[in-house]
C-alpha cells in the first residue's frame, strides 16, 4: 500500500493538549459546525442500517460482490443504507442499495488517502473529526453490519458493541459477514468472557454468518419487528432550506 501523508496540523490540533481559551472555543465551534451540517444532511434519510467494511477491497474482490448483495438486501427490508461513504466495501453497499432502488447515504471523513466519497451516494456529509462521524453513523441506525475490514472497521464495530453493552443505545442487531475472517475475533471475545472481562451475554450481541438470508432475517426480527419501524413523515422546513432524500430511480 502507498504510504499516507501525515495529517495536516489543523486536523490534529484538537488532540494536541490544552490551547488558549480562544482557540479551544474555535475548535468546539468547528466541531459544532460539523454536527449541524450532519444533522441537516441526514435528518430525512429514514431508518438506516450502517454497513462497515474495508476501503481497500476493490470491485474485483469477492467481498465487493457480497457488499452489493448486502446493500440490496437491506433496501428490501425498507432501510436506508448508510456507510462511511468511501470506496471499497462501503461503495459496494451503497451501490447495491442504489441498484435496488433504495436510498444510499454516507458519512465521509477527511483523510490523506482512501476516503473520497463514492459515486453511489444520494446524500453525503464529510466530517473533519472521527468522533463527529461516528455519532452520525450511530444516530440514525437500527442495525449494524460488519463486512471484512481493518482498524477503522474494528473501531466502529467495537463502538457499536460498547454502546449496546452499556445501554447508551438500544439492543440493536449487529451482524458480521465472513465466519472464517472473523473467527480470530470470536476466539478473542471468548477468551475475554473466560477471563471475566466481559460476560457470556455479551457474546450474544453478535451474529456471525455467511448467509445473507440468515442475516436479513435476524435484522428483520430484531430491528424491523421489534421496533415497529416504518418510514418517518417529517415535513422539511422551507425556511431552513431542507429537502427530503429521493429514492433512486
Task: Render pLDDT for 135-163 as a digit per residue (tens, 0 to 9).
Answer: 999 999 999 999 999 999 999 999 999 99
| Strand order from edge to edge, sheet including 123-127 | 123-127, 104-109, 80-83, 48-52, 141-146, 174-177, 206-209
pLDDT band at 3 (very low <50, low <70, confident <90, very high): very low
Once rounded to an integer, what is the mean pLDDT over residues 86-105? 97
Q: Going by C-beta distance under 8 Å and a sequence separation of 6 or more, which residues neighbour residue 151?
A: none
Portion of the chain with pLDDT greater than 90, in percent: 76
Residue 50 near residue 80 (C-beta atoms within 8 A): no
* Domain definitions of the chain by residue range: 20-227
141-172 b/e (C-beta count within 10 Å ≥ 16 → b): bbbbbbbbbeebbeebbebbbebbbeeebeeb
Strand partners, 83: 106
Cβ partners under 8 Å of residue 135, min gap 6: 35, 38
Give residue 230's pLDDT.
65
Q: Which CATH number fits domain 20-227: 3.40.50.450, 3.40.50.1980, 3.40.50.2000, 2.70.98.40?
A: 3.40.50.450
For the cut 90, the answer to whether the pLDDT of residue 227 exceeds it is: no
How far apart are alpha carbons 108 and 160 in whole angstroms? 18
- Find out whether 219 and 74 touch, Cβ atoms under 8 Å: yes
pLDDT at 157: 97
Grid cell, residue 37, equals: 451540517
Q: Measure the CA–CA gap between 243 and 2, rounded to whole angstroms.
A: 40
CA atoms of 185 and 149, how far apart (whole Å) = 12
10 Å CB burial of residue 18 (0-12, 13-18, 19+) is exposed
Percentages helix, strand, coil for the chain, rounded to the nearest 5?
50, 15, 40
Amino acid at each position: 500500500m502507498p504510504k499516507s501523508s501525515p495529517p495536516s496540523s489543523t486536523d490534529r490540533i484538537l488532540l494536541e493538549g490544552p490551547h488558549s481559551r480562544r482557540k479551544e472555543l474555535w475548535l468546539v465551534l468547528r466541531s459544532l459546525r460539523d454536527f449541524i451540517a450532519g444533522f441537516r444532511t441526514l435528518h430525512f434519510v429514514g431508518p438506516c442500517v450502517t454497513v462497515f467494511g474495508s476501503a481497500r477491497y476493490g470491485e474485483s474482490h469477492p467481498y465487493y460482490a457480497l457488499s452489493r448483495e448486502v446493500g440490496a438486501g437491506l433496501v428490501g427490508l425498507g432501510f436506508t443504507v448508510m456507510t462511511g461513504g468511501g470506496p471499497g466495501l462501503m461503495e459496494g453497499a451503497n451501490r447495491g442499495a442504489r441498484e435496488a432502488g433504495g436510498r444510499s447515504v454516507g458519512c465521509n471523513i477527511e483523510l490523506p488517502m482512501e476516503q473520497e466519497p463514492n459515486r453511489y451516494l444520494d446524500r453525503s456529509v464529510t466530517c473533519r473529526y472521527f468522533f463527529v462521524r461516528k455519532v452520525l453513523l450511530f444516530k440514525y441506525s437500527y442495525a449494524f453490519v460488519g463486512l471484512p475490514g481493518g482498524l477503522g472497521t474494528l473501531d466502529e464495530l467495537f463502538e457499536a458493541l460498547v454502546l449496546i453493552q452499556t445501554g447508551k443505545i438500544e439492543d440493536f442487531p449487529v451482524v458480521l459477514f465472513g465466519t472464517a475472517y472473523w473467527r480470530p475475533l470470536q476466539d478473542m471475545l471468548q477468551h475475554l468472557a473466560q477471563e471475566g472481562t466481559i460476560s457470556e451475554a455479551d457474546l450474544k450481541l453478535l451474529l456471525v454468518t455467511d448467509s445473507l438470508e440468515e442475516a436479513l432475517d435476524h435484522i428483520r426480527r430484531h430491528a424491523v419487528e421489534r421496533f415497529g419501524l416504518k418510514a418517518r413523515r417529517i415535513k422539511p422546513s422551507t425556511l431552513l432550506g431542507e429537502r427530503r432524500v429521493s429514492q433512486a430511480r
